[in-house]
């Protein structure tokens, strides 16, 4: 036992313990005895306190040269609460959380909960097997971003539980045709208004919605319904509370020692010391816990820019590394190591960077000098696209570069195109409310923008509520405005989203070559005079492609010519102005004949009526197969 403890402690202290939660924290040693282990290298004394003995301190023993305090307690039961009581070198006593706790009591308390040792019985082997066989770059990824606390609530304001969400959220997402759910942080946190980004428990699903086992069952049932699960994860900073990680043993323990680097003023948090070996063991163990033990399909790593630059946060201007620039060398090295280790164990998961700067090679492999993520949120595309669609249509001709600029850096990274929660809160207005014109035109613009998003190269993400055009911006303290769906326009918008998602999933050209220049054929992407745009999305198979045409003006374009690679018959996949979606077209053009008449660099073409403020998606039905 002593040899095992020495090995585990050595690995943790050298940054090489990637399952540290299985050693540190609270663990069952027998049916009646629990061991407690805490890392507090500069503490004078560490004791465990808990409800199992009326919160009377029980001293732990310091393992020599490890900084780890250990002890065993008998007569403990599942569900008992506990904390560590830490006496620092100056004699100050502070009750502290267990950083490795698997479960916490419900807020406002933050004591750890002695875990239930009952193992999870998984039923998602088929999903995991399929995931291993396919590369994410070549499969559809259409993400529904969800804040569990405000997707739905009971009439009295109570949260839906993990069990209730399994019964409601999963069928809803499956019906609408999304491929993945991305959950805003489910790691334990105290402040609702932080949305989970001020984390307390890095190994504990929040108790707001139920037990850890209930959370695992939610993931399991998502997988059984063929829905992937991604969770936001925050390795850059942690909650300010003094009874949490901050100065855990009375000195900077998880955070930087440098007072100019530990304080994250932008988010009101403390920054992890990403160069410290024990912090690396802690964070890498956390990431692997969610991917391995919880079967998650990916992590969206929050605030990556904060880990890349010394002066990214307010108040740190002028900080420089030994090379004289502002790169955070420890943060960069940590991210490379994190992604390398994760993909060694889980080559089929998604590691997504929420990175808002122009830092290069975020999604390049570590061997090629990159950070090693396989996806990055395309914040530039998001910002420019929203800016364009918020313009009065008659001004769009003068700002067409807002759309066309994204084609310049299209393949610099592997991108996800996000319309996330950040864009529909704090006075920014909902997606529908951002759109110009009266209510009818707002919906027409929104349908066109979402179609543009799914046709544009890259995987996609939309925040909850946008699928039916909720008018009110997101509020974390109440559920979505489900009553909107009684309105025909909102209901039609939801039907449109379901149809659009189905078109996306069933047509390989819209996702199979997202990150390959061969997957996009430029036809008329830069025509500001008419404020129209078109391009062709190509699949691996030569004759499998989708033609996308967009009209960003409230003027119907009759006899609108579209260039295509082959003459023959083409069929309509989607017209955003169909009456069923809330548009005005009662009769749709469903077939088109392309003749050998070159247009915009293509050897054949056909004419369509391009709807005002609308979009068309068209694919070949029977074409003359020939070499080009």
The phi-psi region of residue 303 (left if phi > 0; otherwise alpha if psi is between -120 and 50; otherwise beta) is: left
Place of tokens 């959950």: 183
Sign of the four-CA dihedral 112, 117, 118, 120: positive
- Determine the Cα–Cα distance for residues 11 and 24; give it in Å rounded to an integer: 12
CA of 404: how far to CAs of 257, 477, 526, 527, 550, in Å? 46, 38, 7, 10, 13
In this structure, how many other beta carbons lie within 10 angstroms of the beta carbon of residue 300?
Answer: 28
Partners of 112 in the β-ladder:
82, 104
Residues 6+ apart with CB under 8 A from 125: none
Place of tokens 């919605």: 209
197 and 234 Cβ atoms separated by less than 8 Å:
yes
Which one of the listed residues 232, 262, 297, 302 is annotated catalytic? Answer: 302
Told to judge if 302 belongs to the known catalytic residues of this protein, a careful annotator would answer yes
- Determine the Cα–Cα distance for residues 441 and 433; give it in Å rounded to an integer: 11
CA of 374: how far to CAs of 98, 304, 399, 456, 614, in Å? 32, 14, 32, 18, 33
Task: Please give the distance of CA 84 from its chain centroid, rounded to a whole number.
Answer: 33
SS3 344: helix
Residues 6+ apart with CB under 8 A from 603: 565, 566, 567, 596, 628
Task: Please give the distance of CA 468 from its chain centroid, rounded to a whole number.
Answer: 21
Which one of the listed residues 273, 354, 413, 577 is annotated catalytic? Answer: 354
Q: Which residues are catalytic?
A: 302, 354
């Amino acid at each position: 036992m002593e040899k095992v403890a020495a090995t585990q402690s050595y690995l943790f202290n050298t940054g090489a313990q990637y399952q540290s939660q299985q050693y540190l924290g609270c663990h069952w040693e027998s049916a009646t005895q629990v061991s407690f282990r805490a890392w507090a290298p500069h503490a004078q004394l560490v004791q465990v306190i808990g409800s199992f003995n009326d919160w009377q301190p029980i001293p732990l023993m310091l393992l020599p040269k490890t900084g780890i305090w250990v002890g065993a307690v008998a007569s403990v039961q599942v569900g008992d609460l506990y904390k560590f009581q830490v006496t620092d070198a100056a004699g100050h006593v502070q009750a502290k959380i267990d950083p490795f706790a698997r479960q916490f009591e419900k807020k406002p308390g933050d004591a750890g909960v002695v875990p239930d040792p009952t193992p999870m019985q998984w039923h998602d082997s088929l999903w995991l097997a399929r995931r291993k066989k396919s590369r994410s770059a070549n499969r559809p990824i259409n993400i529904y971003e969800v804040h569990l606390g405000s997707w739905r609530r009971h009439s009295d304001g109570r949260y839906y539980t993990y069990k209730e969400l399994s019964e409601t959220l999963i069928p809803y997402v499956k019906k609408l045709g999304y491929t993945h759910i991305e959950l805003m942080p489910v790691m334990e946190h105290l402040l609702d208004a932080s949305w989970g980004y001020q984390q307390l428990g890095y190994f504990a699903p929040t108790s707001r919605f139920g037990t850890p086992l209930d959370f695992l069952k939610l993931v399991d049932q998502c997988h059984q319904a063929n829905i992937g699960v991604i969770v936001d994860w925050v390795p850059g900073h942690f909650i300010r509370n003094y009874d949490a990680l901050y100065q855990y043993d009375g000195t900077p323990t998880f955070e930087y020692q440098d007072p100019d680097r530990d304080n994250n003023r932008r988010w009101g948090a403390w920054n992890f010391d990403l160069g410290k070996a024990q912090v690396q063991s802690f964070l890498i163990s956390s990431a692997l816990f969610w991917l391995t033990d919880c079967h998650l399909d990916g992590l969206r790593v929050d605030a990556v820019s904060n880990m890349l630059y010394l002066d990214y946060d307010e108040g740190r201007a002028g900080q420089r590394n030994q090379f004289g620039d502002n790169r955070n060398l420890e943060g960069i090295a940590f991210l490379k190591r994190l992604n390398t280790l994760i993909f060694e164990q889980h080559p089929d998961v998604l590691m997504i960077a929420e990175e808002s700067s122009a830092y290069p090679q975020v999604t390049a492999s570590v061997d090629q000098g990159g950070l090693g993520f396989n996806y990055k949120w395309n914040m530039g595309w998001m910002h420019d696209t929203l800016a364009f669609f918020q313009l009065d249509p008659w001004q769009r001709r003068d700002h067409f570069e807002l759309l066309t600029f994204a084609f310049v850096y299209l393949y610099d990274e592997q991108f996800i195109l996000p319309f996330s929660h950040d864009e529909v809160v704090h006075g920014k207005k909902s997606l529908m409310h951002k759109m110009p014109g009266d209510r009818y035109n707002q919906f027409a613009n929104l349908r066109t923008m979402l179609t543009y998003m799914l046709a544009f190269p890259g995987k996609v993400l939309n925040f909850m509520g946008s699928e039916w055009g909720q008018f009110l911006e997101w509020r974390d303290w109440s559920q979505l405005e489900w009553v909107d769906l009684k309105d025909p326009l909102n209901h039609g918008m939801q039907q449109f989203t379901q149809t659009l998602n189905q078109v996306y999933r069933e047509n390989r050209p819209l996702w199979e070559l997202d990150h390959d220049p061969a997957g996009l054929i430029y036809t008329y992407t830069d025509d500001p005079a008419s404020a129209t745009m078109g391009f062709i999305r190509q699949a691996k198979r030569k004759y499998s492609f989708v033609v996308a045409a967009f009209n960003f003006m409230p003027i119907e374009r009759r006899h609108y010519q579209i260039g295509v690679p082959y003459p023959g018959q083409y069929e309509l996949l989607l017209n955003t102005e169909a009456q069923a979606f809330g548009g005005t077209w009662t009769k749709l053009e469903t077939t088109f004949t392309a003749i050998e008449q070159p247009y915009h660099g293509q050897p054949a073409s056909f004419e369509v009526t391009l709807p005002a403020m609308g979009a068309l998606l068209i694919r070949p039905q029977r074409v003359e197969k020939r070499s080009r």
